Amino acid sequence: MNQPRDGGERTVAVILLGSPGSGCTSVGAALAAQRGGRSIDLAQRVAQHLGVAEASALVAVGEERYREVEAAVAVQTLQALEDGDVVALGSGCLGRAEVGAALAGARQRGARVVALTASVRRLAYRNGLDAPRSVALGNVNHVFTQMLHERDAQCQALADGVIDTTHTSAQEVAQALSSLPQGRDRLAGV
How many degrees, rounded to 5, is the angle at CA 62 between CA 61 and CA 65?
75
Tell me, yes or no, whether 160 lies in a domain: yes
Helices (H), the chain: 24-35, 42-50, 57-61, 63-79, 97-108, 120-126, 140-158, 170-177
How many structural domains does the chain have? 1
How confident is residue 128, by pLDDT bands cut at 50, 70 and 90?
Answer: confident
Tell me, yes or no, whether 122 lies in a domain: yes
Alpha-carbon span 87 to 42, nearest angstrom = 7
pLDDT in tens, 143-152: 888 888 899 9
Domain with 72, as residue range(s), is 14-176
Tell me, yes or no, whether 181 lies in a domain: no
pLDDT in tens, 64-87: 999 999 999 999 999 999 999 999
Confidence (pTM): 0.86
Alpha-carbon span 118 to 116, nearest angstrom = 7
> Domain of 109: which CATH number?
3.40.50.300
pLDDT in tens, 22-34: 999 999 999 999 9
Tell me, yes or no, whether 22 lies in a domain: yes
